[in-house]
Chain A
Amino acid sequence: MSQNLEIKVKHLTRVEGHGNIVVNMLEGVLEKAQLDIVEAPRYFEAMLKGRSFHEAAIITSRICGICSLGHQMTSFKTTEEALGLEISEQTIALRKILIHGATIQSNILHSLFLAAPDFLKVGSVFPLIGTHPEVVKAALRMKGLANDISSVIAGRAVHPISCVPGGFTKLPDAAQLAELKGRLEKEMIPDLTFAAEVLTSLASEIPGFTRDTEYISLRSDDDYALYDGDICSSDTGRVPDSEYRSMTNEFIVPHSTAKHSRANRSSFMVGALARWNNNHDRLCPEAMAVAEKLGLKAPCTNPFMNTIAQVVESVHCAIDAIRLIDSLLTKGIKPELPNQKPTRYGSGVGATEVPRGILYHEYAYDRQGRIMSANCVIPTSQNLANIDDDMKKIVPEICDRPKKEIIHGLEMLVRAYDPCISCSVHMLDVEFVE
């Protein structure tokens, strides 16, 4: 066993933003195992102050180019609650389809382009193109279709424009929706099935590490909760989203410009694996069949399986998007205008499952409809303490291996969480401790 170990991976690749892995072991005693977050803070919450309700989603969606849609949806729900804006069933259905598209896009990009190279023990997606060119093409096709879902329903692929608080400024027509449905059936489902098969062939490379932790996700009575639901902990059950602060308890640690979170233990996990553990009973049979093929069982306490849970829920998203489009086509698209007449000015909380876990926004509005204060709690921040706890358990388990292998194992662990570090950094007072 290696008694002394010192690892510092600067600027981990294939994650969004800047994080360093730091491990120190002295004479067999682990002194440090953590993910240092060194991304510069960007002060989005301060930018929201004094802004009107029309601007909140436009600004917050800029927190991230990958999860822009998730920030938008969360922002709309927060504003609608704070200002008492009722929205229609049609608006909810369209938003759910958008969330499905964004979830598929992000999950596929992560599982096939960022995580799969780890299973093949290669440094990037490029060797994967050599060995599995068809899966790369399938991933790009799926990404393209997800972009088109956003373009058709929300006017633009990145940072959508026609979805606004209270509804949509422009609605898709039946022919466009029918075309999307056809492509979901003829392209997306076969591509997802193919991707699942390829990952099944790589699944033996997934490390057999486990650590029991608390899993937190949304949960709702009637569907696999992504767009909306109560906050659900695998330890303590459901609470309304207004109690998000007691479920996140953000605190500052010296080694990260992003805050850490905890609920009932020293850490908890959010994201696809947490959703799987809490909501697998809400998945469609097709997604459950893929889970079985990929060896994903509930409850699952192996964080490396997060990547697999992403593929499983993507299948559900595609099937459910088809169902939602069918229902919209049956009812007919109603020419509704967005409801933007506030019935009150107060505070609101919005919680949405975005690809990396629960995203919370909270705004308080003044009587002129301007934001007085804002708080955003990002899923990657919620996962950081859990990543550190995983590292502290995994290092002693693998410390007798060659250093290169230890480093790869740790990088793979962090990447399994699909962290979006750029999003998660929002601290106002940073002091670096050397």
Chain B
Amino acid sequence: MEIDMVKIIAVGNPYYGDDGVGAAVLTRIREESLFPNAELIDAQTDSLSLVEHFTNDGLHVIIDAAKMGLPPGGVARFLPDEVSQRIRWDRLSLHGFGLAETLELARRIDKVPERLVIIGVEPEIVEIDQGLSNSVAAAIPEILASIEAEVQSYESDHSDH
């Protein structure tokens, strides 16, 4: 069975406390050799560069710390159309280009993948330091399970029955 590429994309600054949740998830995936077919991309704080990583086919999963009004460590899955309603604030502000603006830009130039899912994680501490808060670190298994669920669902949709 031929599986299209899965891209797991982290955005955020690992030196900014919980903003580094995406990078921490990628590290865990590498350590435990999970998702062997996936391409792991750390876009750091350059949200605009996401557009360069987007392809029309394949599954794209973006992991980002975002204020969504959940308790710290809360994990939510949503689609590109919901970003501006769900994310109240994220740290990706290179000249005001956050995730919402980037996805809008990608949409306008027809570069949005057909299957793009955002996994948002509610931060507790967003300050210059090194390391995640306990509540966000404790959410990593749940984030990995969410990614796993996305990959499963994508593969079942694309398998040859």
Contact = CB atoms under 8 A, between A and B. Distances in A.
The A interface, classified by DSSP as helix, strand, loop or mixed, is helix
Given A140-B52, A144-B52, A66 B94 contact: yes
B105 A157 contact: no
Interface residues of A, number: 26
Interface string B87-99: 0000001111100
B105 A126 contact: yes
A144 B95 contact: no
B109 A158 contact: no
Given A42-B128, A136-B109, A16 B48 contact: no
B45 A126 contact: no
Interface residues of B, number: 19
Interface in A141-182: 143-144, 147, 157-159
A133 B104 CA distance: 13
Nearest to B106: A140
B7 to A, nearest CB: 16
A113 interface: yes
A19 to B, nearest CB: 13
A129 interface: yes
A13 B96 contact: yes
Contacts of B128: 42, 62
Interface in A109-123: 109-110, 113-114
A157 to B, nearest CB: 7
A133 B108 CA distance: 8
Best-surrounded residue of A13, A14, A42, A159 (most CB of chain B within 10 A): A159
Given A65-B13, A136-B105, A157 B49 contact: yes
Contacts of A159: 44
Contact of A16 (B44, B95, B108): B95
Contact of A147 (B49, B94, B96, B97): B49
A142 to B, nearest CB: 11
A109 B109 contact: no
A67 B63 CA distance: 24
A126 B108 contact: yes
Interface string A2-17: 0000000000011110
B29 interface: no
B51 interface: yes
